[in-house]
Amino acid sequence: MSAGAAAAEPLDATLRALSDGNRRAILEVVKDRPLAVGEIADEVALSQQTTSHHLRVLRGAGLVTESRDGTRHLFVVRTDGFEVVRQFLEGFWPDRLAALKAAAERAAKDHG
Amino acid sequence: MAEFTTSIDIEAPPEIVFDHLVTVDGMLAWMGQTAELDATPGGTFSVDIEGNPIRGEYLVVDPHHTVVVSWGLLGSDVLPVGSSRVEFRLTPIDAGTRVDLSHTGLPDDQVPPHAEGWSHLLGVLAQSSAATRGS
């Protein structure tokens, strides 16, 4: 159980990162090709400063990677962020089974 | 394909646990806000969990022993309807029932066909988990 809790930490960061609509919009923009901050900002109609902030959060959560093309910093979706889907589902079932346990034990008590 | 297994011991007899897998009232007591269930092989297994439309069919319904459903997220490229299976195996123990769960056919850590798929799935799951935490 404690291992599960530790594993859930980066996942929390991922889910927090994705809880923001602007960040989800940014992921959509960089899912096919690497783009510079200014290009991303134009696409999602945010300031460059705000876009930079969101990109930092997304990078911290492992959802985008940054590369360099000369002096330009380019961002693109990191496809192995896919791993978090699996991790999410692995956190999902223990929680649900705990709820099943509570519900069934309540029902068993009610039945006498 | 990835697989996930877990188990839990429940202090209730298998028939009560089984009810929670095959009846709407029982299901909603532990998972989802609305459900449409027809617990016969090939019957509908449809549960909305915090706005996530989980869709599938009952594949195996063996009273008080085994329930298997197909499991997918409507509209998802990553976990499409019918792509994965969830098996609940109920074993009588002294204290009540052991539930062994296995979820098979989960997406591997491979490059997805469309990056949009997982970012969409994670988006809805993020909202769902935030909603769950808030409640």
Q: What distance in Å separates the CA atoms of residue A22 and residue A26, rounded to the nearest whole number?
A: 6
Sequence-distant (6+) residues with CB within 8 A of B85 are B59, B68, B69, B70, B71, B103, B104, B105
Q: What is the rounded CA–CA span in Å between residue A31 and residue B115?
A: 6
Confidence of residue A110 (pLDDT cuts 50, 70, 90): confident
pTM for the structure as a whole: 0.62
Tokens of A63: 């959802």
What confidence score (pLDDT) does residue A5 get? 39
Predicted pLDDT of residue B52: 77
Are B112 and A82 in contact (CB < 8 Å)?
yes
Portion 18-77 of A in contact with B at CB < 8 A: 18-19, 24, 27-28, 31-32, 63, 77
Tell me: the pLDDT tens digits for A9-61? 455 666 677 777 898 889 888 887 899 999 999 999 999 999 999 999 999 88
Q: Does residue A92 sit in helix, strand or coil?
A: helix
User: B74 to each of A108, B21, B48, B49, B128, how far by Cα in Å?
Assistant: 34, 20, 10, 12, 15
Which of A32, A90, A100 is facing B20, going by the closest CB pair? Answer: A100
How would you write the pLDDT of chain B (135 residues) with one tens digit per residue? 567 788 999 999 999 999 999 999 999 999 989 999 999 999 999 998 877 788 999 999 999 999 999 998 787 666 778 888 999 999 999 999 999 998 888 765 443 444 444 445 555 555 554 555 444
Tokens of B31: 């998972």
Q: Minimal Cα–Cα distance from A71 to chain B, Å?
A: 27
Residue A79: pLDDT band by 50, 70, 90 thresholds? low
Choose among B30, B115, B129: nearest Cβ to A100.
Answer: B30
Residue A90 pLDDT more than 70? no
- What pLDDT does residue B111 have? 37
Burial class (CB in 10 A: 0-12, 13-18, 19+), A84: buried
ipTM of this predicted complex? 0.80
Q: Do B125 and A90 touch (CB under 8 A)?
A: no
**Distance (Å) from the alpha carbon of A47 to chain B's nearest alpha carbon:** 23
